A and B are shown apart, each in its own frame.
Chain A
């Protein structure tokens, strides 16, 4: 669908018919913005674990009062990666881009970021599943890569992969803010140690400072809930892992309020 700036300009310009909207002194005190921040998550087509964490984070953001939407490639439609999109109890929505490419993904994410901002008084964000193989040259667009969340575990192989992904994102977009959330840990201290290791390597070898977006604790009940496509925060809201999910969601939501990555 061809589109130029004029098509979406009204989203970003003050409405003349709406008094006061264009006046910076009348800026709303709530966090309602013209565009919700967009968070890119590199997750491959068969990665059930990271996908599950992504939509569970979306659910937790909604439970915190934020607006959350998930945008993913159309190839995911009907896939077991995601829960039933019709399940409104989740509080988050899963939307599909029109085409299986980065530009279409970005277009859809931007449309959703604009459309949902109107009723996001308590903030929110748009989570986008970006298939990592789409980041290989020739890259169509780096517009989606302003804010990135890497989900990883302290497993040595995953640490190497995350380091490589971090550097890839930095090379594709130098102003990319890259956050890391660890999963597969029993205690938060294990995630702290792993993050420090990763951050040191990133600073030393790539000159990149990573942001620590907390940890998702391992819990059998959590995996059961995820395996059954049930939101951890809804099934086991008081489990340590659900509380950890909530903490990560809080970090993301607060960060989204502080900085605009649309």
Chain B
């Protein structure tokens, strides 16, 4: 377990964390910062390349037990809303079965916090984090203390991300998501069997190919 020198320590810089997110392993894409959850804010909400959600919570020394509790609460709050978020932002790339993990960024962790995080099988990841001055420049240094992220199920896909790996089996797509899939431009879609967002089909709405074509090229 690496430790940091006691000298030249500086408060953790959130701007530095934000800057480093795309360069972490796995790289994280920022969805939001200071995101108001149930009653307190989440420092960072980010997505990994698989479409899983990572919450990052920043704390100072001694705040790790409280941070753990907050992380569990935030994780639960976010998980309950992911289905809605996929509809609100279909292009964001949130996976259909996205998992939510929380990364705790603190200068140090109590043994109890680490034990609790370990018992949560990787959904809570403690990362030692500290601001250090070196040659007149400030840097933020990370050292992971927890487990690697949990195993991903094989049968999964991202809602919109083209870089998603091919699933071994076609995932079941809820009707609302299917309705968002645009057909090829200019192609006749008479008797579209997949419902629109309303749950109705072209047949239900008695649409002709000409009517469907009318809007295929929206000005």
Binding partners A and B: yes
Contact size range, B: 35 or more
| Residues of B contacting A80 in the complex (Cβ-Cβ under 8 angstroms) | 80-81, 83-84
Asked whether any CB of chain B lies closer than 8 Å to the CB of A163, the reply is yes
- CB-CB contacts below 8 Å: B104-118 with A: none
Asked whether any CB of chain B lies closer than 8 Å to the CB of A27, the reply is no
Q: Contacts A46-B174, A167-B206, A201-B215: A158 and B197 contacting too (C-beta < 8 A)?
A: yes
**In chain B, what residue has the closest Cβ to A166?**
B205
CB contact between B198 and one of A42, A223, A228 (< 8 Å): that residue: A42
Asked whether any CB of chain A lies closer than 8 Å to the CB of B216, the reply is yes
- CB-CB contacts below 8 Å: B146-188 with A: 174-176, 179-180, 182-183, 185
- CB-CB contacts below 8 Å: A208-249 with B: 223-224, 226-228, 230
Interface centre among B81, B174, B205, B217 (most CB of A within 10 A): B205
Asked whether any CB of chain B lies closer than 8 Å to the CB of A34, the reply is no
How many A-B residue pairs lie within 8 Å, measured between CB atoms? 114
The 21 listed contacts between A and B (C-beta, < 8 Å) are: A44-B176, A45-B199, A48-B83, A80-B80, A132-B200, A154-B218, A157-B183, A159-B218, A160-B196, A161-B179, A164-B202, A164-B207, A165-B200, A167-B206, A193-B219, A201-B211, A223-B88, A224-B35, A224-B36, A226-B88, A227-B85
Known contacts A45-B199, A48-B83, A158-B197; can you find 11 more A-B pairs with CB under 8 A? A46-B175, A47-B87, A47-B176, A47-B198, A80-B84, A131-B199, A133-B200, A156-B215, A157-B196, A163-B215, A164-B202
